Amino acid sequence: MSLDHCDIFPLQTPDYLLSFQFSSWYPTFSSISIKSTVIRPLDQPFKEYLDSDGIFVPEGSENPSSYSLPTVSPAESSFSDQEDGDDNDDDAAVGRSFSFPDLDERIRQAIEEYGAVFPKLNFSSPKDAAWVLPPSSPLKCTSPSDIYILLKSSDFVSHDLSIDTIFEGCQYDPSNPPPYQLELVLRKWYPIDRSREFRCFVRDGCLIGTPSFLPREPQTQSKIVETLQRFWKDKIKSKWHGQQDYVFDVLMTRDLSRGHVLDFNPYAPRTDPLLFTYEELLSISTRELSTPELRIIDSPLHPVASRNAPAHQHNMLPIEALALSSGRDINDFSDLWKKEIQRSMNDDAND
């Protein structure tokens, strides 16, 4: 018997989806989450900057001692999607530059307070653009330009720029769209041990499952389940006042005795179920288990890991980087990529 979409997922409404934007849930759970600063609303020029072609940072956004990144306009960027001369559609963008001094200052204040930050928008973080910053400290930002280049290089955050993608699958009057304001979230940066990060699925008010990508001893598995269930019951269940279908990400402490909320996500197709499928989660929810199912694989080569690879993993490098990387090892590619950026900057300076 085939399962209907409405059997697998709860009703997707604008109010339901908006309950998962960062500014909606963080005030309630800030005491058990990472210290964060929310800047909202962001003005239209900032959205236009994120939507514009090319990878560049706004003028004045770099720290005096930081590595110089391209600050050219979209029409001047050597990495523009249009290379062969049809400039009519882009006449309005020619020569345009962007500058956000007030936003730069608020970002610098947050960096001074936290030491370093990692950014996200209302729902999405630029994890697919981690390649643009040093691999030893992924997503670690110490200047406004770091934040801008991460957001500008990411395909993931583009989801948050249009109400068409935000409210995809919802019914609403196009002439009276749901209220939505773009926000920038600056979270205190920590080196996160991914082996202690867990995604937990809640359906009809019951914690039903969580995956782990590393092998665990049976005793450790029991402790993880016990801690996650206690953490959810004591810290989350009674405080979550929205629809009782949601997904939350937790970072557990080293001794696996406590947790910190990283994020909340809608129980929806857009949220990656990782080692589960949503059909499997539906089956688990009907069993009325006393404890959530902990699903573990012991190798990244496991078929389940391949089956549940990120749907947009091809977006984690830009097409220019993929072209340059062909047939090269990581060191050769890194050197060539840096030279290509420098060449672009030199060309722009000589124009």
CA distance 331 to 319: 18
How many of the other CB atoms lie within 10 Å of CB of 209? 22
Starting at the edge strand found earlier in the chain, the sheet holding 197-203 runs 259-266, 246-252, 197-203, 206-212, 293-296
Residues 6+ apart with CB under 8 A from 216: 224, 296
Tell me, what's the pLDDT at 4?
58
Span 234-286, pLDDT tens digits: 999 999 998 999 999 999 999 999 999 999 999 999 999 999 999 999 999 99
- Which pLDDT score, from 0 to 100, does residue 296 have? 85
Element spanning 118, H or E = strand 117-120
Residue 322 CB neighbour total at 10 angstroms: 11
Distance CA 289, CA 349 (A): 64
Average pLDDT over every residue of 135-161: 93
Q: Which pLDDT belongs to residue 317?
A: 47
CB-facing half-sphere around the CA of 280: CA atoms within 13 A: 15
- pLDDT score recorded for residue 1: 40
Which of 174, 196, 307, 248 minimizes the C-alpha distance to 20? 248
Q: What is the pLDDT of residue 213?
A: 73
Residue, of 128 and 303, whose pLDDT is higher: 128
| Residue 264: CA count within 13 A, CB half-sphere | 30
pLDDT for the residue numbered 8: 94
User: What tens digit of pLDDT does each residue of 118-129 get?
Assistant: 999 999 999 999
CA dist., res. 131 & res. 149, Å (int): 11
Given a contact cutoff of 8 angstroms between Cβ atoms, the answer to whether 251 and 259 are in contact is: yes
11 DSSP 8-state letter = -
Peptide bond into 41 cis (omega under 30): yes
State whether residue 259 is helix, strand or coil: strand
For 176, list phi and psi in degrees, rounded to 5.
-140, 70
Is residue 282 classed as helix, strand or coil in its secondary structure? helix
Residue found under tokens 């406590």: 258
Neighbours of 258 (CB within 10 A): 15
Q: Are strands 246-252 and 197-203 parallel, antiparallel or unpaired?
A: antiparallel
pLDDT tier at 333, thresholds 50, 70, 90: low
Q: Determine the average pLDDT of the residues in 330-341.
A: 56
DSSP string, 132-170: GS-TTSTT-B-SHHHHHHHHHH-SGGGGGG-HHHHTTT-
pLDDT of residue 17: 96
Spatial neighbors of 125 by CB under 8 A, at least 6 apart, are 118, 119, 139, 156, 157
Q: Is 347 within 8 Å of 339 (Cβ atoms)? A: no
> How much is the pLDDT for 80?
38
Q: How far apart are CA 304 and CA 113, in angstroms?
A: 42
Q: Contact, 322 vs 336, CB < 8 A?
A: no
* Cβ(333)–Cβ(298) below 8 Å: no
Predicted confidence (pLDDT) at residue 117 exceeds the cutoff of 90: yes
pLDDT, tens only, 51-98 = 998 888 899 888 765 444 555 444 444 333 444 444 444 444 445 789
pLDDT tier, 315 (very low <50, low <70, confident <90, very high otherwise): very low
pLDDT over 90 percentage in the chain: 58
